[in-house]
Amino acid sequence: MSKLQKDFNEIVKKIEERITDKEELDFIKEQIAGISMLYIDELNKVMDISEKRVNQVYENQRILEEKMLEIEKGMDNIEKELFVGDEYDFEIICPYCNYEFVTDIDSNKKEVECPECHNMIELDWNAEEQEGGEYTGHCCSCEGCENEEDDEEDSCDDDDDM
């Protein structure tokens, strides 16, 4: 028996000992039971409200966690796009054998070996730019093209692949 039930029974027992009139005793017991039910109903209401609030907090937290995951994914994508380190994948077409390959390129590297013909390909990171940042008209694989028409067609097609 719970302490509350035990205390309730003791109170009813004391009332029964004091009141000898059966009708009065029944009336008082009914009133006590009514008051008890009022308290129990109010406690149930408070518990229901508390449970709803707790459930709402859990739901809000779940929604926030989902949003945080979305934000983290977005941040990861932004980081990948904007904060690429010194090394990244770079597509190269060998000027000697036209073999196309992808390699990790470090901007500090000056040359890379073609895996097909094993010739060394010189990397000139600034060959496309003049002082004003404009295109020079020379392709990336040579010091200067002999045929300017070819230059316009070939003009660093590799750059589109970066």
CA distance 91 to 111: 14
In the prediction, which pLDDT does 151 show? 46
- Model confidence, pTM: 0.39
For the residues 101-116, what does the mean pLDDT come to?
82
CA distance 14 to 110: 100
Each residue's pLDDT tens digit, 117-136: 999 988 776 655 434 444 34
Cβ neighbours of residue 9 under 8 Å, at least 6 residues apart? 1
Residue 144 pLDDT greater than 70, yes or no? no
Each residue's pLDDT tens digit, 65-84: 999 999 999 888 887 777 65
CA dihedral sign of residues 14, 20, 24, 29: positive
Residue 24's H or E segment, with its range, is helix 22-82
Per-residue HEC secondary structure of 70-125 comes to HHHHHHHHHHHHHCCCCEEEEEEECCCCCCEEEEEEECCCCEEECCCCCCEEECCC
| Average pLDDT of the residues of the chain | 78
In the prediction, which pLDDT does 50 show? 97
For the residues 4-20, what does the mean pLDDT come to?
89
Percent of the chain exceeding pLDDT 90 equals 41
For the residues 86-105, what does the mean pLDDT come to?
80
